[in-house]
């Protein structure tokens, strides 16, 4: 493969890649922390602590649906930050995915890419939560695979094996024709590379730096993505450059 136009299907992570989950998470947790006397917590501290806590909840309870993962993460954050959280606050955060906004470039980029690829979601949420996000993305995905379908959460390799089998069976797309596109090195690039998938890193935090709401890769997990851009709009520009025959 020499360019992104050599693939026939794109598998997407959603949250952090297409949906601005960091903005959505902060819109929920920042006012809550402030209300409870924790204005001392920086936005980045909130995001990083959430990311580590959410990943721990997913690993501990892989069969739990994502709204319940968010509720448990909220309880753990409250304990860690010495906050007495109400049942309503916990339940509200559990349903917050519906309020998380899309990145400004997601819908138009997906509509462009739909002309050239099968588009597939491989996401760490449940189907009901994703349905709310899908309304903001403005495109009909060819397949939607969630943690609810698989019974585990990325970076578990089971999610990728499940998706590969599904795509070959339902769309007739072989692994070598799939480009996995995602923001999280921890959840997506490392495990996708380990099962032999080509990867494109949407480095949404290129300007901000750090890992934000996604845990840092484990020591030794140095998987290098095949392609890297800072946004979905840059992905479209890269695709157009490759169509013109410009080198990677």
User: Rounded to whole angstroms, how far apart are CA atoms 129 and 144?
Assistant: 12
Could you tell me if 130 and 144 are in contact, meaning their C-beta atoms sit under 8 angstroms apart? yes
pLDDT attached to residue 223: 75
Task: Say if residue 187 is in the same domain as residue 200.
Answer: yes
Give the model confidence (pLDDT) of 197-247 as tens digits: 999 999 998 888 888 999 988 766 567 899 999 999 999 999 999 998 887
> Where in the sequence is the domain holding 115, given as residue range(s)?
4-20+100-243
User: Looking at residue 34, which CATH number applies to its domain?
Assistant: 1.10.150.750
Q: Are residues 121 and 212 in the same domain?
A: yes
How far is it, in rounded angstroms, from Cα 54 to Cα 96? Answer: 14
SS3 (DSSP) at 171:
coil
| 3-state SS track over 59-127 | HHCCCCCHHHHHHHHHHHHHHHCCCCCCHHHHHHHHCHHHHCCECCCHHHHHHHHCCCCEEEEEECCCH
> Is residue 13 annotated as a catalytic residue, yes or no?
yes
User: pLDDT (tens digit, 9 = 90+) per residue, 85-131?
Assistant: 999 999 999 999 999 999 999 999 999 999 999 999 999 999 999 99
Q: Is residue 248 part of a domain?
A: no
Q: Which residue among the candidates 6, 13, 43, 88 is catalytic per the annotation?
A: 13
3-class secondary structure, 192: helix
Q: Final residue of a domain: which of 80, 99, 118?
A: 99
Last residue of a domain, one of 99, 128, 162: 99
Residue 173 has what pLDDT? 98
136 and 209 fall within a common domain:
yes
pTM recorded for the entire structure: 0.95
- Does 46 share its domain with 159? no
Cis check for the bond before 49: say yes or no (omega within 30 of 0).
no
Are 67 and 94 in contact by the 8 Å Cβ rule? The answer is yes
Look up residue 152 and give its DSSP letter: S
**Is residue 81 domain-shared with residue 112, that is, in the same domain?**
no
CA 77 – CA 73 distance, rounded (Å):
6
Q: What was the pLDDT predicted at 52?
A: 97
Question: Within this chain, do residues 114 and 211 fall inside the same structural domain, yes or no?
Answer: yes
210 inside domain: yes
Residue 154 token pair? 């990325």
pLDDT higher at 205 or 21: 21
88 shares a domain with 183: no
- Asked if residue 211 and residue 162 are part of one domain, the reply reads yes
Q: 77 with 90, same domain?
A: yes
Specify whether 125 is located in the same domain as 60: no
Tell me the three state secondary structure of residue 217. coil
CATH number at residue 153: 3.40.50.1000
Structural contact between residues 175 and 192, judged by C-beta atoms closer than 8 angstroms: no
Are 11 and 126 part of one and the same domain? yes
Residue 227 within any structural domain of the chain: yes
The domain tally of the chain equals 2
CA dihedral 150→155→157→158, nearest 10 degrees, is -10
Average pLDDT, the chain: 95
Residue where a domain terminates, one of 35, 69, 99:
99
Same domain, 78 and 126: no
């Amino acid at each position: 493969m020499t360019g992104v136009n050599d693939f026939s299907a794109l598998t997407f992570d959603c949250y952090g890649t297409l949906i601005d989950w960091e903005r959505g998470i902060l819109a929920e947790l920042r006012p809550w922390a402030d209300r409870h006397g924790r204005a001392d917590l920086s936005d980045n501290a909130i995001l990083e602590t959430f990311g580590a806590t959410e990943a721990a909840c997913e690993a501990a309870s892989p069969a739990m649906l994502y709204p319940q993962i968010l509720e448990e993460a909220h309880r753990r954050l409250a304990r860690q930050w010495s906050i007495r959280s109400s049942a309503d606050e916990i339940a509200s955060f559990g349903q917050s995915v519906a309020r998380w906004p899309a990145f400004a470039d997601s819908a138009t980029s997906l509509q462009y890419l739909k002309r050239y690829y099968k588009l597939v979601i491989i996401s760490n949420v449940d189907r009901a939560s994703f349905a709310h996000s899908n309304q903001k993305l403005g495109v009909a995905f060819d397949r939607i695979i969630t943690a609810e379908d698989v019974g585990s959460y990325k970076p578990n390799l089971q999610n990728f094996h499940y998706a590969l089998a599904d795509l070959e069976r339902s769309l007739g797309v072989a692994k070598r024709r799939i480009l996995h596109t995602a923001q999280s090195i921890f959840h997506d690039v490392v495990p996708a590379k380990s099962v032999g998938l080509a990867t494109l890193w949407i480095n949404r935090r290129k300007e901000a730096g750090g890992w934000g709401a996604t845990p840092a890769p484990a020591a030794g997990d140095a998987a290098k993505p095949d392609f890297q851009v800072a946004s979905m709009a840059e992905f479209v520009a890269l695709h157009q450059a490759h169509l013109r025959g410009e080198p990677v």
